[in-house]
């Protein structure tokens, strides 16, 4: 028996990815699709008419589903939230209060001290805060969140290095795809033949969220990692899918180049150990070619769940610099959330 899941915000850019990734999933089946009152009451196919952005046909069983409103009462146990952040906060809380297990892409609960913000390879131990969240809030359900799409690439690459050598400071420059802005997103006249050196709120998220993910549980809260500093420059670029980040990093104890590559090669987490269906076989793929990773060539590594790193070299200012890439709507959004739910299931937390 598969676990029945619902997708909140199922009609948007990330919601569509959920529909794709869950359409033939070994643990989960989509039982409900929900969105705004503009879409509610329509068949899913009708609600996404003119705004379907994937090169994948809408699965027949989903196309004919009626889109519901985002209110508890949906016939499922788990809800994936791909809601616009202007509305996600209270809606997700209503679901958790009503006993649903919520896995969210939105930013609203990322800094709640009792809500785990997960990259399963890096901090699956933060799931230990969930009983505290349920007790404190009197909820039968719970909320887990995934971080911003910008940091899925560079933080996975930095995490094993931080554990061994201590990251002191890192400067990260992201080049983020247009699909990261949702649909219709950035106007074509703003982005064609252009680069926009500003994404509202993104630099703050890219600097703060890593500290929580690298942090630890202390009593009834998750506390930030100390002594690590990030500085981020976030740019919107003329790429459809795939966020690239260049990183310059300084360590407490400077490793050799070989130690860094060995740390990436050896790195694996619970998703690999449990062979979760969406887990990339290797948590990090290091490419040796001097001109990789590139979005068009590397974003679909391991079905879009891979983290691809390259160009590790000395830095004239810090210790080392390198480039990383991940698919923003798969690994950085829907796929990352599905991986969290797979982990929850295998840990017996979706009973």
Binding of ligand NAP at residue 115 (CB under 6 A)?
Answer: no
Q: Supply the minimum distance, in Å, between the C-beta of residue 244 and ligand NAP.
A: 14
236 close to 195: Cβ distance less than 8 angstroms:
yes
82 close to 333: Cβ distance less than 8 angstroms:
yes
Identify which range of 58-66, 179-187, 217-225, 250-258 contacts ligand NAP by CB under 6 A.
179-187
Joined together, the tokens standing for residue 312 give 């590790």
Binding of ligand NAP at residue 329 (CB under 6 A)?
Answer: yes
Q: Supply the minimum distance, in Å, between the C-beta of residue 328 and ligand NAP.
A: 4
Contacts of 204 (CB under 8 A, 6+ apart): none
Quick one: 42 or 346, whose CB is closer to ligand NAP? 42
Identify which range of 6-14, 155-163, 283-291, 338-346 contacts ligand NAP by CB under 6 A.
6-14
Total binding residues toward ligand NAP, as defined by CB under 6 A: 29
Hey, which residues between 181 and 240 contact ligand NAP (CB under 6 A)? Answer: 182-183
Q: Parallel, antiparallel, or unpaired: how do β-strands 142-145 and 101-104 relate?
A: parallel
Joined together, the tokens standing for residue 76 give 């499922």
Identify the active-site residue in 70, 76, 149, 234: 149
Among 12, 210, 242, 293, binds ligand NAP (CB under 6 A): 12
Q: Parallel, antiparallel, or unpaired: how do β-strands 216-218 and 243-251 relate?
A: unpaired
Binding of ligand NAP at residue 9 (CB under 6 A)?
Answer: yes
Joined together, the tokens standing for residue 103 give 């896995």
Quick one: 37 or 218, whose CB is closer to ligand NAP? 37
Identify which range of 30-38, 116-124, 129-137, 272-280 contacts ligand NAP by CB under 6 A.
30-38
Binding of ligand NAP at residue 266 (CB under 6 A)?
Answer: no
Identify which range of 8-16, 125-133, 158-166, 301-309 contacts ligand NAP by CB under 6 A.
8-16
Among 23, 66, 85, 294, binds ligand NAP (CB under 6 A): 85
Q: Supply the minimum distance, in Å, between the C-beta of residue 267 and ligand NAP.
A: 23
How many angstroms separate the CA atoms of 159 and 332, rounded? Answer: 16
DSSP state of 180: G
Active site residue 243: yes
How many angstroms separate the CA atoms of 293 and 112, rounded? Answer: 34
Identify the active-site residue in 109, 162, 243, 345: 243
Among 15, 120, 215, 293, binds ligand NAP (CB under 6 A): 15
Q: Supply the minimum distance, in Å, between the C-beta of residue 37 and ligand NAP.
A: 7
Q: Supply the minimum distance, in Å, between the C-beta of residue 6 and ligand NAP.
A: 12
CA dihedral of residues 182, 149, 205, 260 (deg, nearest 10): -160
Quick one: 85 or 235, whose CB is closer to ligand NAP? 85
Buried b / exposed e across 52-90, counting CB within 10 Å, b at 16+? bbeeeebbeebeebebbebeeebebbbbbbbbeeeebbe
Quick one: 13 or 214, whose CB is closer to ligand NAP? 13
Active site residue 109: no
Among 5, 222, 260, 333, binds ligand NAP (CB under 6 A): 333
Q: Where are the alpha helices (DSSP H) in the chain?
A: 13-22, 44-47, 60-63, 85-97, 120-123, 130-137, 151-165, 188-191, 202-213, 257-266, 270-273, 295-298, 335-346
Q: Is the dihedral of CA 342, 347, 349, 351 positive or negative?
A: positive
> Which residue has the CB atom at the shortest distance from ligand NAP?
12
How many angstroms separate the CA atoms of 56 and 250, rounded? Answer: 42
Q: Supply the minimum distance, in Å, between the C-beta of residue 150 and ligand NAP.
A: 9
Length of the chain as a residue count: 351
Q: Mind telling me the catalytic residues?
A: 149, 243
Q: Which stretches of the chain bind ligand NAP, using CB under 6 A?
A: 9-15, 35-36, 38-39, 70, 82-85, 87-88, 105-106, 149, 179-180, 182-183, 328-329, 332-333
């Amino acid at each position: 028996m598969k676990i029945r899941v619902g997708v909140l915000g199922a009609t948007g850019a990330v919601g569509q990815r959920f529909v794709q990734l869950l359409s033939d999933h070994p643990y989960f089946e989509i039982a409900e699709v929900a969105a705004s009152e503009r879409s509610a009451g329509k068949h899913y196919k009708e609600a996404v008419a003119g705004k379907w952005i994937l090169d994948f046909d809408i699965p027949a069983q989903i196309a004919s589903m009626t889109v519901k409103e985002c209110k508890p009462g949906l016939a499922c146990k788990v809800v994936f939230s791909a809601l616009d952040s202007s509305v996600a906060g209270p809606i997700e809380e209503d679901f958790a209060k009503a006993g649903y297990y919520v896995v969210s892409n939105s930013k609203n609960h990322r800094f709640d001290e009792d809500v785990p913000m997960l990259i399963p390879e890096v901090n699956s131990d933060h799931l230990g805060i969930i009983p505290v969240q349920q007790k404190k809030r009197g909820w039968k359900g719970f909320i887990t969140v995934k971080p911003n799409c910008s940091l899925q690439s560079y933080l996975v690459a930095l995490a094993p290095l931080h554990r061994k050598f201590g990251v002191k400071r890192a400067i990260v420059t992201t080049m983020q795809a247009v699909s990261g802005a949702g649909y219709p997103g950035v106007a074509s006249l703003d982005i064609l033949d252009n680069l926009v050196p500003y994404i509202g709120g993104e630099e703050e998220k890219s600097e703060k969220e890593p500290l929580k993910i690298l942090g630890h549980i202390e009593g009834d809260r998750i506390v930030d990692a100390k002594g690590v500093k990030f500085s981020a420059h976030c740019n919107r670029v003329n790429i459809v899918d795939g966020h690239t980040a260049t990183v310059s990093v300084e360590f407490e104890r400077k490793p050799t180049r070989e130690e860094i590559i060995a740390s990436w090669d050896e790195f694996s987490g619970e998703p690999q150990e449990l062979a979760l269906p969406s887990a990339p076989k290797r948590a990090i793929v290091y490419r040796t070619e001097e001109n990789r990773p590139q979005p068009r060539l590397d974003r679909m590594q391991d079905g879009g769940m891979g983290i691809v790193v390259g160009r590790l070299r000395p830095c004239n200012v810090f210790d080392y610099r390198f480039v990383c890439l991940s698919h923003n709507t798969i690994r950085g959004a829907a796929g990352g959330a599905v991986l969290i739910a797979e982990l929850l299931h295998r840990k017996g937390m979706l009973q």
